[in-house]
Structures are given as C-alpha cells and as structure tokens.
Amino acid sequence: MADERRFRAPVDLHTHSSVSDGTETPAELVRAAAVAGIGTVALTDHDSTAGWQDAAAEGARVGVTVIPGMELSTRVEFASVHMLGYLFDPANEALVAETRRIRDGRMRRAEDMVRRIAQDYDITWDDVLAQATEGATVGRPHIADALVARGLAEDRSAAFAGILHWRSGYFQPHYAPEPLTGVRLIREAGGVPVLAHPATGSRGSVIPENRLRRLVDAGLFGLELDHRENRPEGVAQLRAYAARYGLAITGSSDYHGAGKPNRLGENTTDPAVVDRMIDEATGAAPFYA
C-alpha cells in the first residue's frame, strides 16, 4: 500500500480558512501552503467541513496533499477544549447534527456578546456579519475584526486582550459538547481525534490524568504538543502521559492567515504519525496531490 501514499513532508496538521476564522479562502490557504513549501496540509476549520472540496481542488493544482479535518469545539464547564478530528466521514449524521448545533449556538452567543458590547461601544451586529463569509463558523475573531474596522481595537490580538477577553464582562461561552462526546463522535464517523493545543493552561496546568484516560479509552489518538501556545511545563507532563498511554504527538501551526502571527509550517508532524493516522481512519482518505 505504501506506493498509494504519496503525501510529502513537511506536514502541517492544523489550519483555518474563511470557512471559520482564518482570513484566506480554502484555496488561498492551500496556495499559501505551496508557497511556504508545505507538502501536506490539514484544513481544520472550527466546527465545519465546508472548505474541504475547495481546498482539495486547489491542492491538486498546486501539488499539496490536503488532509480533511475539523477543530471541534468542546467544553468542560466554562473552559473551552478544542478537539481536532481528521479523515472522518463528513456526511456522518451525528457529527453533522452536532456541528450544526454548535454553529447555531456560536451565532446566538456572538449576537449576545455584541449586544452587550454595543451598550458601551459603537458597534452593530451587521458590522460583525460583514466580517464573516456567508455560512462561516462565527467566533470572537469576527467580532474582533468588526472592532478593528470601527477603530476600537488595533488588531485581533488587541481585541482579545481587551473587549473580548473572558474577564472583560462582555464574554459569554457558547454551546459545546463534552470532550468525551467529541472523541466518540469523531471515532464513530471513522475519524481520528487529537486533543488540540492541550498545554495552554495557566501555570502549565493540563487535563487531569483520569480524564485523559477516559478520552484514551474512548479512542483519543494523540496530543498536539508542538504548538506555539503550549507551555513547556504542561508539555513535559503530557509527554509523560503520551508515553504511558501510547498517544501520538502532533505538531502544527494553527495558521489563521493574517488573523494571528502563526506561520504555516512553524511546527510540523512526523510523517510516520500521519501514516498511522491514515491507517486508523475509515471515514475519509487524504486528497493526494
């Protein structure tokens, strides 16, 4: 089978397009990957698979293999936990229904947040809608872009440090399932789940071992340890857990175009890990270039 697997390194397993909160269309993103010398890129928009076909078509043109994926929103109480899913069936009914529910919840939550912000600042819901592509998964980044357009913030990062911060008084969480549900949904759709940037907690705090073990038992494949927002203390702890539970380690940029400083290929994943991922997945195949 080895000759059927023609994906090239380097492999970047986490990127966002305008289908969620990236600033480039899926095709533009894949072109940017080609220019950056990336051989294989996973498109992992928040709670949406709407960019897969455009990304795949561009990948075929520019010689970049596209691994179809998604960054599923999950949450534990008020803490948001991101679950990457790869190579799952995009038509799986349970996953389609759950992602629709999350996107709807995100829309209502964004409207609520804007209603609160508008009591203190000159901004409207239409300003926010103008920043998002039709059907996109709406998030705080789109509110940030509207604040920037109104001159109320310098850039996305400044908006996140101020008005959009969870302690600002304007923040509100949105509906999301539990991480365990996320792992099960992705596996049941034939996909491979990886915990996204799992060491971003303050003071290096990470998921407790007993919770991690439940995710492993449900089919968690790996941990995204090579990611710029992870903290070294947390990564060290999670490396030990990964060894203990046989979890794969992935690395990626979490590229958002101009929306974040993250650059394509700044972290990458060992091709041997990608081979294992492709072997385990039954829901979809990579779009080989």
**Contacts with Fe ion, residue ranges (CB under 5 A):** 21, 82, 196
Site for ligand AMP in 166-185 (CB under 6 A): none
Site for ligand AMP in 258-287 (CB under 6 A): 259-260
HSE of 206 in the Cβ direction (CA atoms, 13 Å)? 27
Q: Choose among Fe ion, ligand AMP, Zn ion, none what residue 227 binds, the Cβ cut-off being 5 to 8 Å by kind.
A: none
Q: Is 254 in the site for Zn ion (CB under 5 A)?
A: yes
Listed residue (155, 151, 132, 153) closest to 142, CA to CA: 132
**CB of 240 vs ligand AMP, minimal distance in Å:** 27
Q: 3-state class of 192 per DSSP?
A: strand
The partner residues of 82 in beta bridges, in order of sequence, read 73
CB of 90 or CB of 141, closer to ligand AMP: 141
Q: How far apart are CA 203 and CA 232, in angstroms?
A: 10
Stretch of residues binding ligand AMP (CB under 6 A), selected from 96-104, 125-133, 138-146, 199-207: 138-146
The residue number whose beta carbon is nearest to ligand AMP equals 139
**CB of 46 vs Fe ion, minimal distance in Å:** 6
**CB of 26 vs Zn ion, minimal distance in Å:** 15
The β-bridge relationship of strands 40-43 and 79-86 is unpaired
Q: 3-state class of 104 per DSSP?
A: helix
> Residue 256 is which amino acid?
H
- Contacts with 186 (C-beta within 8 Å, 6 or more apart), sequence order: 72, 83, 85, 88, 95, 192, 193, 219
Question: Contacts with ligand AMP: how many residues (CB under 6 A)?
Answer: 10
The residue number whose beta carbon is nearest to Zn ion equals 254
Residues in contact with Zn ion, shown as a per-residue x/- string from 63 to 82 under the rule CB under 5 A? --------x-----------
